[in-house]
A = this chain, B = another copy of it.
Amino acid sequence: MQEDIHATKLAILKATERLVAANGFEATSLRAITAAAKVNLAAVNYHFSTKDALILAMLNRRLRPVNEARLALLDQFEEEAGENPVTVEKILEALFRPVLDVVSGRAKGGRDFLRLLALALAEPGAYLKPLVEKEFSEKTRRFHHALRRTLPGLSEVEAHWRLHFAHGVFFHAVVHSAVLECTSKGRCRITSAETVLRRIVGFCAAGLRNPA
């Protein structure tokens, strides 16, 4: 369905991603986007109706494959585990590795994808809510179920809260890594996806398992 996407549409999406990452939502004008994409100014309104819809489409283009990859990885781990529940560490890896792959991947636009998501989420008006509801519902359901199977002591609400906390660790660590680098005076920085993933998983696994 995305294969036969129009070349103009794709060029606009790519340019939007790059420019918004560099300058922010409001600071990126349709004129800058269409100039970078080498398309006509009116093409945005023709293909996406409005600027807001373009932003949503841009985010969703990254978000959907990530969530699909998360589910696929969880599938794989569950299959490998056979009868046994998947370990907490594997659950966390299935949650975070696909995002790290995008963020640290070769694709230029992916690098700032998470920060843009954070920006959009923090924006008032909750205009991301329909997207969140649609794209996150199955992911939430599956990982929530997996976690409760692994840690049967967790109540339903407690599992929700702790998964939310784990997302917070990952989100904050990746999006605001510059803050850590600043406050630690350069002593802490993300060198590789693997090492930061190990740190995050270690911290979150302990928090998830906490019996209290």
Contact = CB atoms under 8 A, between A and B. Distances in A.
Contacts of A162: 203
- Chain A, interface size category, equals 35 or more
Interface of A: 21-27, 112, 115, 118-119, 121-126, 129, 132-133, 136-137, 140, 156-157, 160-162, 164-165, 167-173, 175-176, 178-180, 182-184, 187-188, 199-200, 202-210, 212
10 contacts: A23-B125, A26-B26, A132-B179, A160-B184, A172-B172, A203-B207, A206-B207, A206-B210, A206-B212, A207-B207
B157 A124 contact: no
Contact of A171 (B26, B112, B140, B168): B168
A169 B165 contact: yes
Number of copies: 2
B27 A183 contact: no
Contacts of A178: 126, 129
A200 B173 CA distance: 16
Contacts of A171: 168, 172
Given A203-B162, A203-B210, A124 B22 contact: yes
A142 B180 CA distance: 15
Contacts of A124: 21-24, 112, 115
A120 to B, nearest CB: 9
B140 A164 contact: no
Given A118-B122, A123-B119, A188 B206 contact: no
Contacts of A25: 26
